[in-house]
Amino acid sequence: MLTKSGIRVTSISEKIHVIHGKNRGRSPFSHSFLILDTAHVLFDSGCGLDVLETVIRTCGIDLVVNSHSHPDHTAGNWLLQELCDPGILVPKECSDSISSAELLGYRFVGTELAALWRERYLPVTGFRDFSLSESFSHGREVITGSLRFIAVHSPGHLLDHYCFYEPDEKILLGFDIDLSPFGPWYGHRESDIPTFRKSIEQASTMPVTTYFSSHARPVKGPYVSKRLESYASIFEARNSILCHCIPRNKPVNLTSLVDRSPFYGTDHSVGDLILRYGEEQMIIKHLQRLIDDSRVIESEDGFMLKS
């Protein structure tokens, strides 16, 4: 049924399907996860509005569950409400902002960049304000019929980021613990490296036969723990990359470090201010960790490696 509709889908079983997001599931889109059971449940709605419309026409949706509040995961909620009016279930944390473009902008990039973020980023995702039905918290079970998905609070990427675990099939929907080649992303003020590490460790201790993420292909069997370990190792790799940009004998300021773009590898002097903001936030978080570990010294003039 799904394959005949023309959408790109990977069917794991008769009931579990990965709806491939546009741009190969890369930002500003993401993969969605469709459960066709007694209830038709869609986890995340950022696969692309045209893709989503085909899914709705093909099978209908009873419930939408959002893993967290980034628009590349919630962009199609308004369209679903217009076409088939499913329930919209969102994380309890930050639920006051998840459905509002204005509040999300202030939350994610601050007052100075909020309008720019809304103008440039949201139209690409297709996001519009929507109405939520209910919120969930850690331990909530979403029962689709024969399957049950348990909410696992997994912050670090965002305060309201969740994974969902199906204990009978041993399936983990990891969302933006995404195992992508870029590695973990934590470019907002509320993002946090130590908390993100703990969330990855939490995922690695769960018995998982298939791991699904929002921006990469599914991972199976013994490769799951290896991929999570490799993903987590990027935090320390970025510490090392940043240390190579910091001299021992002359302070360097934050602006100079961001200009070098050690993580994104882009030219911020002619680039996107939103992209620059994200990298700056990530650099700030690494600098704090390096200072706490006594690897970097901070002064009024900037940062130096400790001799």
| Percent of the chain scoring above 90 in pLDDT | 94
Which amino acid is present at 158? L
Which amino acid is present at 61? I
Say if residue 175 is in the same domain as residue 274: no
Whether 183 and 222 have beta carbons less than 8 Å apart is answered as no
Range of the domain at 254: 244-305
Task: Check pLDDT > 90 for residue 81.
Answer: yes
The CB density around residue 273, as the number of other CB atoms within 10 Å, is 14
Can you tell me the mean pLDDT for 40-53? 97
Can you tell me the mean pLDDT for 22-38? 96
Say if residue 189 is in the same domain as residue 127: yes
Say if residue 174 is in the same domain as residue 288: no
Backbone angles phi, psi at 260, to 5 degrees: -75, -15
Can you tell me the mean pLDDT for 226-254? 97
**What is the tally of structural domains in the chain?**
2
Task: Check pLDDT > 80 for residue 104.
Answer: yes
Say if residue 58 is in the same domain as residue 157: yes
Which of 185, 200, 235 delimits the end of a domain? Answer: 235
pTM of structure: 0.96
For 151-165, the pLDDT digits (tens) are 999 999 999 999 999
* CATH code of residue 103: 3.60.15.10
